Amino acid sequence: MDIRALDIDDLDLVCRHREDMFRDAGRSDDVLVPMTEHFRAWVRPRLLDGSYFGYAMLEDGVPVAGIGLMLIDWPPHPAHPTQDKRGYVLNVFVEPAHRKRGLARELMRLAEAEFARRGVGYLILHATAKGRPLYQGQGWAGTTEMAKAAPR
Amino acid sequence: MDIRALDIDDLDLVCRHREDMFRDAGRSDDVLVPMTEHFRAWVRPRLLDGSYFGYAMLEDGVPVAGIGLMLIDWPPHPAHPTQDKRGYVLNVFVEPAHRKRGLARELMRLAEAEFARRGVGYLILHATAKGRPLYQGQGWAGTTEMAKAAPR
């Protein structure tokens, strides 16, 4: 299994991983098609300037898994009183035929090492129901975040 | 009760509200003192350029409650497939002598109206244990966010 950093040539791959991840979680095309169109335009400049980064895993040159990473501007907080950044993990995806082999766990280890290298001490993600046990097993815990979709 | 928008003259007030909010939630000075020092430097330019905004409530000219608001850059997501912003509510604080009078509820109504005016459809916050019932009563629900503090 080869591992390499994401770059702009992975634009399609990153978009596909995000869409397939949410499709796996039960989302339907009526929301995923417009999401991917807008996500592609959003992530393209960020892949180019490196503010969206991460890794792809390849078997025989074919990508089989990926992970996205970002630094999010955040007000200094008791969990990171002297820092104004949080590390964010997103778009963790492993192709169905390659699951249960520890690839996501390995991608998460790479992610934590990269954030450590960048000096970021507080990391967040949003878990699907499927992903939650993996993260819990690696020391992640639920937060007090709440959300509300405003009436349109 | 008068209500006005926050501005740069509220720098001390905003810092005090954030610190007192976390102190109420059980955080101690060893983390709050450095947090406020760094938060002050972080929020000052954002109060000046309007990227941190919000409201103060005053009784007889004296501030008794406040709320902070931000727009957070976020990848288009099934909950907001065509938008790349989330509204974030933070630093909701009511002076102890003025609690149980609905001030926080009124501040939240103002916050939601302001985000609606700005066209932002998906809102998030992090609730203290005390604040949670208020938000639940206004239609907010917990998310799947998880966090991990990396070893330093």
Residues of chain B in contact with residue A81, where contact means CB-CB under 8 angstroms, are: 31-32, 34-35, 38
- Integer-rounded Cα radius of gyration of chain A: 16
DSSP at B130:
T
Nearest CA to CA, how far is B64 from chain A (Å)?
22
Of A42, A90, A143, the CB nearest to B146: A143
Q: Given this model, what pLDDT does residue A151 score?
A: 62
B151 band by pLDDT with thresholds 50, 70 and 90: low
Parallel, antiparallel, or unpaired for β A85-94 and A62-73?
antiparallel
Cβ–Cβ under 8 Å, residues A1 and A58:
yes
- How high is the pLDDT of residue A28? 96
pLDDT reading at A152 higher than 60: no
pLDDT of residue B1: 86
pLDDT tens per residue, range B14-47: 999 999 999 999 999 999 999 999 999 999 999 9
Chain B residues 77-136 with a CB less than 8 Å from chain A:
77-84, 87, 90, 112, 115-116, 120-129, 132, 135-136
Question: What is the reported pLDDT for A41?
Answer: 98
B150 — pLDDT class (breaks 50, 70, 90): confident
pLDDT of residue B152: 53
Determine phi and psi for A39, rounding to 5 degrees: -65, -40
pLDDT of residue B55: 98
Gap between the Cα atoms of A124 and B86, Å rounded: 16
Give residue-wise pLDDT tens across range B72-129: 999 999 999 999 999 999 999 999 999 999 999 999 999 999 999 999 999 999 999 9
Contact flag A121-B148 (C-beta cutoff 8 Å)? no
Residue A31: exposed, middle, or buried by beta-carbon count in 10 A (0-12, 13-18, 19+)? Answer: middle
Domain annotation for chain B: domains and CATH numbers: 2-137 (3.40.630.30)
Structure confidence by residue, pLDDT tens digits, A107-146: 999 999 999 999 999 999 999 999 999 999 999 999 999 9
DSSP per-residue letters across A14-52:
HHHHHHHHHHHTT--HHHHHHHHHHHHHHHHHHHHHTSE
Using CA atoms, how far apart are residues A87 and A83, in angstroms rounded to an integer?
11
Interface touch B75/A142, C-beta < 8 Å:
no
Q: Does B26 touch chain A (CB under 8 A)?
A: no
Angle at B2 between CA B1 and CA B5, to 5 degrees: 140
Tell me: pLDDT of B138 over 90.
Answer: yes
Burial pattern B80-105, b for ≥16 Cβ within 10 A else e, equals bbebbbbbbbbbbbbbeeeeeeebbe
**How far, in Å, CA of B7 to CA of B52, rounded?**
9
Please give the average per-residue pLDDT across A31-54, as a whole number.
98
The alpha-carbon gap from B135 to the nearest alpha carbon of chain A, in Å, equals 8
Q: What are phi and psi of B38, to 5 degrees?
A: -75, -35
CA dist A41 and A117 (Å) reads: 29
